[in-house]
Structure 1
Amino acid sequence: MGRASPFLLVLVTLGFFFATYNLITVVIHHKTGVSVGLELVDPVTGLTREEMATSANPSARYHVALTATDAAYSQWQCRIMYYWYKKYKDMPGSGMGGFTRVLHSGKPDKLMEEIPTFVVDPLPPGIDRGYIVLNRPWAFVQWLEKGIIEEDYVLMAEPDHVFVNPLPNLAYGGNPAAFPFFYIKPTENEKIMRKYYPAEKGPVSNIDPIGNSPVIIKKSMLEEIAPTWMNVSLRMKDDPEADKSFGWVLEMYAYAVASALHGVKHTLRADFMIQPPWDREIKNSFIIHYTYGCDYNMKGELTYGKIGEWRFDKRSHLLGPPPKNLPLPPKGVPESVVRLVKCVNEASANIPGWD
């Protein structure tokens, strides 16, 4: 057949070398993958298959939506929330798509050019009876009907949420994902629940112990639930027994009931969110919810119920944003509180016109 040239032999040798190298690399990567439950973590990115799939698949992304007012108290929280959304949106593992602040004040405000915003009407005067959160389900009804939402999923969030890790689409290909709230207890309020969830629908235990936020849910599913959520909220507010029992979480109960009426079950994710000061560590959680005040003495001891020598409480800033460069907590304060203050400081230092 003739003698092969030295040049051809070199090419063949290099080809075998690269083929063998690639095969060995694939085998090593597969064997060094770390098992997390039934999922395999990619050794290069550290992401699970779920996270890799949702971050790479445009149809698996979710739209971040939070309802808000034009009050200064709401505005500075929205600015911080939007800052951290932008920071994590395109990181590996993130399933974030677009972002909308659903403004239910009925008119534009000064953040329209800074944050993507959709203006909706508030409830007619007097309907909310001072319970401003009652506007949330009505705001979602209007936004879902008239807004432009390219993604198939929606994350219902709130202004006092801060992203602390890239958040994948936890609901992709399955049930809606929701954070379980310990103060939503349908089975302990069965008498009231039966007014809104009839016996023919099944046991009250069918109602998930959740609020509406944070929840990642298919847009088509939310479009069905939202009008019922609005109507149940209004009925509960008109019910003295429900109003007294549920108080500030009334519309959360209404969402739980509305979703159960539509036969929707949620996957409960305790890692979805932490709430300082009670949750001390961040670990693999995705959101910090700073609804509670954080009060400590200078020894780093919690003084909840008593104003501490060091404190961070969003309610201390009702009329305007917190100042830049807030002092960090004393030594011994939990990681979650320290991270929260650092997040606020970084956002306020980098958002133009913060003051």
Structure 2
Amino acid sequence: MAGRRFLPKLGFVPCSIIAGIVFLVIVALAQAIAETHPDAVSDRHHGDEFLSRRAHETGYRRSGSRHRTHHGGLFGLNLDGEEGEDLKPRRARAGDEEVEEVEVVEEIVEVEEDDDEGSDGGEEADEKGSVTATRDARDDRFDEFPASLAPLGGGGGDSPGPSCDAGDFIEHAEFWGDVVVDGTQNLKTSASRCCEACAKIRSCRIWVWNPDSKQCWLKADEREQPEPVAKGASVAWTSGVLPQRKGPGVKYALAKDVVDPTPPPKCLHTVLTSSGNAYMNWQTRIMYQTYLKHAAEPGSVMKAFTRILHRGKDDELMMEVPTMRFDPNQGKCDTWCDYPVADRSLAVAQWSQTTDSMRCSHVMMVETDYIYVKSPSPHILMPRGKAIGFEYSYIYPQDLNMKRVYEEYMREHADELGRSEWKREKFALPRTGNAPSCLNVEDLRRVAPLWAEFVARTEKPEEVRKALGWLRDMYAYDAAALAVGVEHVVAPTPRTPLMAQPPADEKIGDAFLLHYTWGPEIYDGKDEKLWVFDKRSYGGGQYQRGPYQLSKIPDPPRWDPAAGLQLQDFFQPRTLSESKLELIRLMIDEFNEAVGKLPRIPKGHKTLEEAQAMAA
């Protein structure tokens, strides 16, 4: 027949071969599609090419990889990760030294295979982990207040402390010290009651009671033998000195004690640090509400939240915000001290060793004055050895003071695992800090103890402490990350996938956090103030009695191109663009929505007075 094509008859064997080929093609296509899924991509790559080549070439600064450490770290905490891990120093690659900043990174999606080194658990384990991670990142099995938050033995509040023997009371004597509890807000009927109040607070060493006013002042003093500043018949005060308490006052279940632990699911554990003062606590309440809102989004990778409280006693938010409390080195910071963040790194290091840190594969470190505005992309969950940080332009990568601290540490441990190799590498800190940053929990377990050690090393000598100032905690984190070889990919807004800061930033970009630290003021063209929001004056100022009365912030003015809207003189140029105004509006809308959900009295308290007593 014209035009008809005749095909040869195919036997059973050739048909079977063709069918097999078709089946293999279908399987290969399915596998290819699965491997391009963001969860699978981020899990199976080791990070050197996790960002696309275009992304690397168009804006991200990358700090070079440096040595991992085998040193046990401060307080004997393990920096090595799992036993048997390969800890040989990694040499910096030439491409890690410096990357020119050019265009905006549009996506962190494309991935190139990196076959140079295998995963910690081997290829087979990595693939299985990817499957589990994709499932776990999307279910809702995670408890808001899991058992891992609870201290062993049911403790965690005011520790029992020493006994009060009336024979040790010192009449007609007054002691000075760092105030732990203000006596004007802490009236006691007797000296014994005052002593008992001090004994319940780990950071309290000295109590001073007035028989007339009934004021009971609780104080901290780190001296071996405190001496009275006044004594004699003319001194009305009765005082007492309690013995110093050493060792941890509260203990938690440790990850190292878990038999046959399973890898954590691939998800994000938000970790917030706080000293528990009233000013930070009102911010914490709002931050946690925004977390709850956006963690509930479909497919969110945010599955856990822990407030790490470095304070000598529980506070008023223990039953409203998931919290683990750790005793601080500076007991005076429970009320006021000049550098409360000095206790942050040690508390994070201690938390990283607990079973609570096993709930997710990655940790997102945040601060109290952040607001979640959406759930983050799974792309920020980078492989081990890689982290995402926020670029702070005021962090100098070659800071000489931090370089001296870093090199002193490295010299002390140069004989460990070939650590002398560090001398051949360029000292270059990542321009970031601990928050906001996202890293693998195993990496945090290696970084955090050394971070705490570097913080301690920047406290002395005095010239180093003064030179680094408030930034010394950030520099210490950067040095620790450099020393253990956790490379931080950092970028400012709008290239960062982490955070924007209204009104300093023009737009949010890909960020999921907003930071309300700048205190925007909006003026019209005649320089008349129209609107202001500054966290430092919110609720009456920084030093009000907690818990604060939360109130909604008035809406910022609507955009009017003819109004000549502008910011305060600090910002140059002062012109307020429509996009900056909308970013401010987004921040205020999220803030006010959170305030609207919060009760006057924090959860778990029957009366305001009860909450105030916990806040004191």
Alignment TM-score > 0.5, same fold: yes
Structure-2 separation of matches of 1:92 and 1:299: 44
Classify 1:331/1:242 alpha carbon distance in 2 versus 1 (closer, same or farther; 3 Å).
farther
Residue 356 of structure 2: aligned partner: 148
Query: Equivalents in 2 of 1:220, 1:272: separation in Å?
Result: 21
Question: Hey, what does 2:397 align to over in structure 1?
Answer: 186
Specify the code of the residue in structure 1 equivalent to 2:423: E
Kept in 1, the 8 Å contact 2:383–2:440? The answer is no
Alignment of 1:53-64 (within 5 A): 55-56=137-138, 59-64=265-270
What's the counterpart of residue 232 of structure 1?
Answer: 454
Of stretches 122-131 and 250-259 in structure 1, the one that deviates more from structure 2 is: 122-131
State the match for 2:373 in structure 1.
164
Contact 2:369 2:515 survives alignment (8 Å): yes
1:284 corresponds to 2:504: no
Counterpart secondary structure, 1:140: helix
Partner of 2:426: 203
Instruction: Find the residue that maps to 1:100 and give its secondary structure.
Output: strand
Q: Counterpart of 1:210 in 2: which secondary structure?
A: coil
CA contact (8 A) 1:120 1:139 kept: yes
Alignment match, 1:10: none
SS of the aligned residue for 1:266 comes to strand
What runs of 5+ residues in structure 1 fail to find an aligned partner? 1-25, 41-50
Partner of residue 120, structure 1: 326
SS of the residue corresponding to residue 371 of structure 2 reads: strand
Q: Which residue of 1 aligns with 2:40?
A: none
Secondary structure in 2 aligned to 1:331?
A: coil
1:344 aligned partner: 591
Matches within 5 A, 1:1-355: 36=107, 38-39=109-110, 55-56=137-138, 59-125=265-331, 130-149=338-357, 150-169=359-378, 170-173=380-383, 175-187=386-398, 189-190=399-400, 192-197=402-407, 200=423, 202-205=425-428, 207-269=429-491, 270-299=496-525, 308-317=529-538, 318=542, 319=544, 321=548, 323-332=550-559, 334=580, 335-353=582-600
Provide closer, same or farther for how the CA distance between residues 342 and 105 of structure 1 changes in structure 2, counting only shifts above 3 A: same
Q: TM-score, normalised by structure 1?
A: 0.77
Contact 2:372 2:512 in 1 (8 A): yes
Q: Report the Cα offset of residue 159 of structure 1.
A: 0.7
Counterpart of 1:136, as a letter, is R
TM-score w.r.t. the length of structure 2 is 0.46
- In structure 2, relative to structure 1, the CA distance for the partners of 1:354 and 1:336 (3 Å cut) is farther
DSSP-derived class of the 1:59 partner: coil
Structure 1 residues 54 and 265 mapped into 2: Cα distance closer, same or farther (>3 Å)?
farther
Partner of 2:610: none
Q: How far does residue 190 in structure 1 lie from its aligned partner after superposition?
A: 3.4
> For residue 426 of structure 2, what is the amino acid of its counterpart?
P
Task: Specify which structure has the higher proportion of helix.
Answer: 1
Shift of 1:231: 1.1
Q: Which moved more, 1:157-166 or 1:118-127?
A: 118-127
3-state SS in 1 of match to 2:433 = strand
The one-letter code of the counterpart of 1:286 is F
Q: Retained in 1: the 8 A contact 2:330–2:343?
A: no
For residue 234 of structure 1, what is the amino acid of its counterpart?
A
Letter in 1 for 2:588: V
**Contact map agreement 2:550 2:600 (CA 8 A) in 1:** no
SS in 2 for 1:271: coil
Are 2:284 and 2:369, in contact at CA under 8 Å, matched by a contact in 1? yes
Contact 2:273/2:308 (<8 A) preserved: yes
Q: What is the Cα deviation at residue 246 of structure 1?
A: 2.3
The one-letter code sitting in structure 2 at the alignment partner of 1:176 is A
Matched position secondary structure for 1:230: helix
1:298 deviates by 3.7
Report the Cα offset of residue 125 of structure 1: 4.2
Describe the shift of the 1:286–1:38 C-alpha distance in structure 2 as closer, same or farther (beyond 3 A): closer
Identity across matched positions, percent: 32
Per-residue deviation, 1:280:
2.6
Aligned-partner Cα distance in 1 for 2:532–2:324: 34
Distance 1:105 1:285 in 2: 31
* Distance in 2 between residues matched to 1:212 and 1:164, nearest whole Å: 20
Shift of 1:140: 0.5
User: AA paired with 2:397?
Assistant: P
Q: Which residue of 1 aligns with 2:65?
A: none
Amino acid at match of 2:405: K
Q: 2:401–2:468: 8 Å Cα contact kept in structure 1?
A: no
Hey, what's the Cα distance between the residues in 1 that align with 2:355 and 2:525?
A: 50
Equivalent position amino acid for 2:483 in 1: L
Structure 2 stretches lacking a partner, 5+ long: 1-28, 34-105, 112-132, 140-263, 411-421, 560-575, 603-616
SS at match of 2:383: coil
2:67 alignment counterpart: none
| Match in the other structure for 1:43 | none
**Conservation of the 8 A alpha-carbon contact between 1:54 and 1:61:** yes
Q: CA deviation at 1:290?
A: 1.2
Q: Is the 8 A contact 1:60 1:172 kept in 2?
A: no
Q: Please report how far the alpha carbon of residue 56 of structure 1 lies from its aligned counterpart in structure 2 after TM superposition.
A: 3.7
Distance, in Å, in 2 between the alignment partners of 1:120 and 1:293 is 31
Q: C-alpha separation between the residues in 2 aligned to 1:244 and 1:88?
A: 40
Question: Which secondary structure state, in structure 2, belongs to the residue aligned with residue 194 of structure 1?
Answer: helix
Does the 8 Å CA contact 1:179/1:214 hold for their aligned counterparts?
A: yes
SS of match in other structure, 1:176: strand
| Secondary structure of the corresponding residue to residue 339 of structure 1 | helix
Q: Residue 283 of structure 1 aligns to which amino acid in structure 2?
A: G
* 3-state DSSP of counterpart to 2:434: strand
Aligned CA distance change for structure 1 residues 107 and 299 (closer, same or farther; 3 Å):
farther
**CA distance in structure 2 between the aligned counterparts of 1:238 and 1:191, rounded to whole angstroms:** 11
Post-superposition shift, 1:208? 0.9
Q: Secondary structure at the match of 1:97?
A: strand
Quote the offset at 1:240 in angstroms: 3.0
Q: Deviations over 1:139-197 (max 9, x none)?
A: 1122122352311211111111101121134033351111111111122x235413314
Flag the 1:312–1:194 CA change in 2: closer, same or farther, 3 A: same
The higher radius of gyration belongs to 2
Contact kept? 1:54, 1:168, Cα under 8 Å:
no
Q: Secondary structure at the match of 1:213?
A: coil
Alpha-carbon shift at residue 106 of structure 1 (Å): 2.2
